[in-house]
Amino acid sequence: MSKRATREALGATLVELAREGADIFAVDADLARATTLQVFGNAYPDRLLNVGIAEQDMMGVAAGIALTGATVFTGSFAAFGTGRCYDQIRNTVCESRLNVKVCPTHAGITVGEDGATHQMLEDIGLMRGLPGMRVLVPADYHAACAAIRLAADIEGPVYIRFSRFATAEVYDGPVQGRLPWASVLREGADVSLLACGVEVEQALLAAELLAAEGVSAEVIDIESVTPLDEELICRSASKTGHVVTAEDHCVATGMGAAVAGLLAERCPTPMRFVGMWSFGTSASADVLLKHFGLDAEGIKAAAFELLR
């Protein structure tokens, strides 16, 4: 399977939307090349604003443009595009339900060599705790394109989490985004592997490893953390009786915590969590996934621990 980073979808999809007539703008904090928003700026230079290294200003400018009736996408890296401007996202964008789409790239542990300061592991928790914010975590390039289009169609704030790391294309071609959004990628009977973002590829690989040892794993891609597809998740949990969640994010506040809250209320099920319990460190993405137990072997081990 070919591999592409989900961030590659951002600039290219905004160009497509603009050509189709969408009234969209983008604001970036001096990282447009890395976020790929420069692709959009090259095609529509009057629709991309670079505010410099000033994330709070980026969010304020985006809010102001949104008040004119346009749909506005913001860039930057996830560590800065959510953490440094959280106050503006909360009080200016979400409280007023403005049509701003928060779309930083370079999220999660797979930022790699940039180290702990740039490996944003708390962003899903920050965003899903905000009233009115929808949270999307695409698994591959095709899902990322669909997430951007979905965000453009939705009124109000949306958070999309993009990765720097190139992942396998788990979908054969274009997909249709929806809310809530989750997809069964592999049917199974013994354990449900619920993953989001870069961990979806690892969950599929883990299912292969488990199958080789006689364990039937169901793999579900959780594309929308907020809202969750409650019916699909509960149906799978009831079928297998065991749930493992996998994410390159802080376990305490991420997708796994959201799923645990749902199951505790509607369908109590034994669980294990694959994710980050600490800050990251500097190394290549593949090394970090293995070191922190976020690779296929780590997911397999969590599943066997649960089944035992």
Element (H, E) at 70: none
Q: Of 123, 134, 54, nearest to 94 (Cα)?
A: 134
Query: Is the bond preceding residue 268 a cis peptide, omega within 30 degrees?
Result: no
Tell me whether residue 274 is exposed, middle or buried, using C-beta atoms within 10 angstroms of its C-beta: 0 to 12, 13 to 18, 19 or more. buried
* Domain layout of the chain by residue ranges: 3-168, 182-307
Residue-wise pLDDT for 100-147, tens only, equals 999 999 999 999 999 999 999 999 999 999 999 999 999 999 999 999
Instruction: Quote the tokens at residue 220.
Output: 């579900």
Element (H, E) at 25: strand 24-28
User: DSSP characters for 157-185?
Assistant: -EEE---SSEEE--SSS-----SS-EEEE
The sign one gets for the Cα dihedral 45, 48, 49, 50 is negative
Q: Is 48 helix (H, G, I), strand (E, B) or coil?
A: strand
Which contacts of 11-15 are long-range, i.e. CB under 8 A and separated by 24 or more positions?
Answer: 11/35, 11/36, 11/37, 11/38, 11/39, 11/40, 11/41, 12/36, 12/39, 12/145, 13/144, 13/145, 13/148, 13/149, 14/39, 14/40, 14/73, 14/148, 15/39, 15/40, 15/43, 15/44
Torsion of CA 54, 57, 63, 64, to 10 degrees: -130
pLDDT (average), residues 238-248: 98
1 pLDDT higher than 90: no
pLDDT (average), residues 167-178: 94
Which CATH topology does 3-168 take? Rossmann fold (3.40.50)
Domain spanning 182-307: CATH 2.40.50.140: no
pLDDT (average), residues 256-262: 98
The answer to whether 99 and 72 are in contact (CB under 8 A) is yes
pLDDT (average), residues 231-250: 98
89 pLDDT higher than 90: yes
Sheet holding 271-276, edge to edge: 182-186, 217-222, 191-195, 243-250, 271-276
pLDDT (average), residues 27-52: 97
- What is residue 2's predicted lDDT score, i.e. its pLDDT? 81
pLDDT (average), residues 257-265: 98
Element (H, E) at 299: helix 296-307
Average pLDDT, the chain: 97
Active site residue 247: no
Q: Which of 8, 16, 20, 55 is catalytic?
A: 55
CA distance 300 to 292: 13
